[in-house]
Structure 1
Amino acid sequence: MKYRAFAILTLFVIAFSGCKDVAKINADEAGEVITEYLTANPEYKTGRFNFGELKFNSQKDMLELEKYKTLASDGYVSLALQESKKKFLSKDSSFVYIIKLTDKASDLVLKQDEDKATVKVVTYELASEKPVNFNRVNDNNAKVTVSLKKVNTPFSSFQKNADDNSNFITKTYRLKLHKEEGWKVVK
């Protein structure tokens, strides 16, 4: 009888000590929840990208053509010269290219129209060197402020304001405790 009572008591102690108290959360666990959320819902900045039949005339257009040639060398677009005209006694020439998106660009293209596409120009990742600023509101809610570092995509040369003042952004997420799922980010 003593042995049976001791076994039951030991079983209860093991069962209750093995259960993790999900209501408790610290800065490291909050960082893991944010990382998991960012994997499923990445933060990014978009820009517009022209493709199809494009004509390049002036010196300014030639700088734009260099952006496309860089993308072509990386395999994100294909360039096909359709027409080339040299203007007599002029520095400017005229080039007409057919530009097509390749399969490699599909992860970065969000929306595609007939001759324009919305592409990711910058993605943001959780900065590992900066700590997570963690603020517990109550038992079921917490606010987490993190620093997200800027990572340029191959299409970054097509963003409107390429000369940003920082290489990171600061973002605050609200966490809520769900009984079955644990801590989750709420919008």
Structure 2
Amino acid sequence: MKNRFLIILSLFVIAIGCKNVATINEKEAGEKITDYLKANPEYKTARFNFGEMKFNSEKDMKELEKYRQLADEGYVSLSLQSAKKKFLSKDSSYVFQIRLTDKASELVLKQDDDKATVKVIQYELASEKPVDFNRINDNNAKVTVSLKKINTAFAPFQKNASENSNFITKTYRLKFDKEEGWKVLK
């Protein structure tokens, strides 16, 4: 009886000692977030018009300058279809055919006949600011990181172009999986 009790007690102690406790530190958490961001990049999008477009007023001319900048960088091609100069007037009418080039394909997410959803800002992990790491329990952790904004060529086309900061902070949740190890939850 005494031997049986000792065997059961030793099995109980071994079972408690073999509890699967995952360890992770701030550096490893930052590496997991970096890997996650490579596979699932963070970005901000906007709608972009192209095709046959007419430019009349001064406001339209400012918009045309944005398209010319894109054409200079090789993201779109501009071809003048027609131009009507109004006699003794500031307002003239120009019709351009605007086409996306192959260079723009890396920034275009969805494309319709005359509109496209494009990346206007991409976010990357800021290396100068440390990772804020909180361990919730043995198998969960919260990681808050700073992501720096990188404007794309289509940045002038975003609706609210005023930037209050050059970075955003984002919190990710890490969970430990016995087979895969630590992974980022969506």
TM-score tier (shorter): 0.7 to 0.9
Deviation at 1:91, TM superposition (A): 1.4
The code of the aligned residue for 2:165 comes to S
Superposed CA deviations along residues 157-177 of structure 1, whole A, max 9, x for unmatched, are 000111021111110000011
1:82 match: 81
Cα offset for 1:180? 2.0
Alignment of 1:33-182 (within 5 A): 33-182=32-181
Measured after TM superposition, the shift of residue 79 of structure 1 is: 0.5
Amino acid at match of 2:155: S
TM-score (norm 2): 0.87
Distance in 2 separating the partners of 1:85 and 1:165: 40
Identity %: 78
What TM-score comes out, normalization by structure 1 length? 0.87
Letter in 2 for 1:146: V
List alignment gaps of at least 5 residues for structure 1: 1-20
- The answer to whether the Cα contact below 8 Å between 1:121 and 1:155 also exists between their aligned partners in 2 is yes
Question: 2:137 aligns to what SS in structure 1?
Answer: coil
Q: Residue 184 in 1 paired to residue 180 in 2?
A: no
1:39 partner SS: helix
3-state SS of paired residue (2:149): strand
The 2-side partners of 1:184 and 1:74 are apart by 39
- Aligned-partner residue type, residue 79 of structure 2: A
Contact 2:21 / 2:139 at 8 angstroms: preserved in 1? no
**Aligned residue-pair number:** 167
- State the Cα deviation string for residues 121-179 of structure 1 (Å, max 9, x = none): 00111000000000011111100000111110000000011102111111000001112
Contact kept in structure 1, 2:52 and 2:96, CA below 8 Å: yes
Match in the other structure for 1:15: none
The alignment partner of 2:27 has SS state of: helix
Cα deviation, residue 22, structure 1: 8.4
Distance in 2 (CA, whole Å) between partners of 1:89 and 1:162 is 34
- Check the 8 A contact 1:49/1:118 in 2, yes or no: yes
1:34-82 per-residue CA deviation (whole Å, 9 max, x = no partner) reads 0000001111111110000000111111110010001011110010111
For residues 21 and 152 of structure 2, what CA distance do their matches in structure 1 show? Answer: 37
Unpaired runs of at least 5, structure 2: 1-19
Secondary structure of 1:148's aligned partner: strand
Q: How well do the aligned residues superpose, as a CA RMSD in angstroms?
A: 1.2
Which aligned runs of 4 or more in structure 1 are off by greater than 3 angstroms? none
